[in-house]
């Protein structure tokens, strides 16, 4: 009996030593699998981020009151020119324009020597754009023509299709009524050419 006891002790210690090694190997295997899975997920995440299309900039519709930034007629000086062969047209147009409250400057034949086609041309420099936009509300069909003149005075060159200037009451409604307009980088590009606000 004294000889069997040591043999039993050696056998028991051998089985007990195997369990810690197995546990360590399992832990190492789990860590390796976790690391491999994490690396694969990072790889595919990086590939996905490079193929996603950028979100386009929004185009927002807002309500704008056309006359909010326009000057009063009394603050606008208008030179009236006759660009037709109809005698006295510039003088009559200047008188009607003055009745709407505009200040009148020069009244004469068109010094540019241009034969205006259509209703009229409203010519303005960089500082006269708001005044030109206001006058265009009174003359439907008039064409806004930007140039490099200085100052805020604008030129009204009357063409053969010129009819009449709208009254203050008629224009007041369009000035006060808000209208939808779009703004933002996502909006379609607008034409660079000037257009009549009343067109």
Tens-of-pLDDT digits for all 199 residues of the chain? 444 544 444 544 445 566 778 887 888 878 777 777 776 676 666 554 455 566 666 776 655 555 667 899 999 999 999 999 999 999 999 999 999 999 999 999 999 888 899 999 999 999 999 999 999 999 999 999 999 999 999 999 999 999 999 999 999 887 776 666 666 666 764 433 333 333 3
If DSSP codes are grouped into helix, strand and coil, which group holds residue 80? Answer: strand
- 156 vs 122: CA distance, rounded Å: 5
Query: Is residue 181 within a helix (H) or strand (E), and if so which, with residue range?
Result: strand 179-183
If DSSP codes are grouped into helix, strand and coil, which group holds residue 63? Answer: strand
Q: CA gyration radius for the chain?
A: 41
Helix, strand, coil percent values for the chain (each to nearest 5): 45, 20, 35
Longest dimension (CA), the chain: 145
- What pTM, to 2 d.p., does this model score? 0.57
Residue 12 has a pLDDT of 47
- 26 vs 20: CA distance, rounded Å: 10
């Amino acid at each position: 009996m004294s000889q069997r006891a040591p043999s039993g002790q050696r056998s028991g210690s051998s089985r007990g030593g195997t369990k810690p090694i197995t546990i360590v190997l399992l832990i190492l295997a789990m860590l390796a699998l976790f690391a491999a899975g994490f690396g694969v997920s990072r790889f595919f995440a990086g590939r996905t981020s490079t193929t996603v299309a950028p979100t386009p900039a929004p185009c927002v519709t807002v309500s704008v009151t056309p006359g909010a930034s326009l000057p009063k007629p009394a603050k606008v000086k208008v030179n009236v020119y006759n660009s037709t062969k109809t005698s006295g047209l510039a003088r009559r147009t200047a008188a009607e324009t003055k009745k709407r409250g505009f200040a009148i400057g020069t009244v004469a034949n068109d010094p540019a020597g241009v034969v205006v086609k259509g209703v009229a041309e409203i010519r303005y420099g960089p500082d006269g754009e708001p005044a030109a936009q206001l006058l265009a509300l009174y003359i439907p069909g008039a064409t806004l023509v930007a140039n490099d003149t200085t100052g805020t005075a604008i030129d009204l060159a009357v063409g053969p299709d010129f009819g009449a200037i709208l009254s203050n009451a008629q224009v007041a409604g369009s000035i006060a009524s808000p209208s939808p307009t779009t703004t933002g980088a996502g909006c379609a590009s607008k034409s660079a050419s000037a257009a009549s606000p009343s067109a």
